[in-house]
Amino acid sequence: MSQSLAQKLIARAAGRTSVTTGEIVTCKVDMAMFHDSSGPRRLKPMLEELGAQIWDKSRVVLVMDHYVPERDDESRRIVRIARDWAREQDLPHVYDSQGICHVVVPQHGHIQPGMFCVGGDSHSPTGGAFGAYMFGIGSTEMLGVVVTGEIWLRVPQTIAMNWSGKLSPGVCAKDMMLAMIARFGMNGANYQAVEFTGEAVRTLGMQERMTLCNMSAELGAQTGLVAPDDVTRRWLASTGRPSTPESDTARWHSDPGSADVQHDFNASTLSPQLAAPHSPAHGVNIAEHASTPINVAYIGACTGAKLEDLRFAAQVLKGKKIASGVQLMVAPASVKDLAEAQAEGTMQLLADAGATLLPSACGACAGYGESFAEGQTVISSTARNFRGRMGPASTQVFLGSAYTVAASALRGRITDPREVMA
């Protein structure tokens, strides 16, 4: 039976040789991830009420990223609950203030091809970049997983987003995603599995693939997937964790013709994209908003502040200064990415241009910490720009790539990065 990558991953987790679109199966979970906001403060009281225990602590990963660094009594309370519970449970995989969960977890080797994973956050599909099936669930569903190690799902359709050609300089995975979301809308994938395929995807580095799968949530998908290959193998080797027989990358690919639907795109013709307030689906070519003045340029979030994103911004800003009156804020996605960016000189280039360094945490993307002021116009590399999410309702937030955010900071207005790149 012809099987898509999604079907193969689900079948393995369900102990089957194959599955059929639409059938309901029960899957064993290889890894469950949650953070300070979605995890202990919600799970602890429910577990205590049930008198239940974690099914396998080695398969649980807890990341403190939403409410750190603690800025008020409520954040201190939430983080204290998480830290205390982690100690009580003697959890072996806890990452406190090390960066955003969707970046930290794979950087520490917790996601490998062939795995079936869940996360207590809507951007959990990021894990699909590694050829794993990963999706976000709510706290009550997570309770069931934590106690039983299993979860049921309806086998989704596979929607192939096939990208031919090659991206031009100054254009990246974020632009690809904004173009797809603009075309199909935020419910366009209808909770199905989206697989990103084609020449343009295969040439992307691991962190750019993570951006695609991360923002499959904005397409309304259950998960986003990229079939693993040599790029994946090199990344996995860099984490230092041994592979398993199930993680053999050659095994995890879609059979020809197994996608239920395929949409085709040409990366060679793609220009930098922009999502206007107040939805990621308000995507247009950047020329439609060129010269709109900005107050703040924000490079942050799991979507837009990984090492590759920091490098994109540095390419634009090297040897230059941001415009007078503009704030450029940079919140690297993880402490590891920050350290690498510092070691190679990328952070120095950003600092020399006038950037302000913020902690490696969810920050403004989650509406916490460095939120923005009344009436400001912001260009951000985050995934979402809903009204009131990153500041008052009057704040106008545009979404773009790190290239676009840096170029706009340079000129003080929304700018096509190709105009300022050497």
Query: Which residue, among 330, 326, 339, has the nearest Cα to 357 in the 3D structure?
Result: 330
The architecture (CATH level 2) of 273-419 comes to: 2-Layer Sandwich (3.30)
Q: Token digits for 131?
A: 């050829």
pLDDT higher for 371 or 169? 169
* Span 14-64, pLDDT tens digits: 999 999 999 999 999 999 999 999 999 999 999 999 999 999 999 999 999
Buried b (16+ CB within 10 A) or exposed e, 117-135: bbbbbbbbbbbbbbbbbbb
pLDDT one-digit tens code per residue, 153-184: 999 999 999 999 999 999 999 999 999 999 99
Residue of 160, 156, 155, 220 lying closest to 188 (CA atoms) = 220
Residue range 125-141: mean pLDDT, rounded: 97
Using a cut of 0.85, tell me whether the model's pTM lies above it.
yes
Contact 292, 413 (CB under 8 A): yes
Spell out the domain ranges in the chain: 5-267, 273-419
Question: Which pLDDT value is given to residue 239?
Answer: 86
pLDDT score recorded for residue 372: 87
| Assigned CATH topology for domain 5-267 | Aconitase; domain 3 (3.30.499)
Q: Is the peptide bond before 282 cis (omega within 30 degrees of 0)?
A: no
Write down the mean pLDDT value for the chain.
Answer: 96
Domains 5-267 and 273-419 share a fold: yes
The predicted structure's pLDDT at residue 276: 98
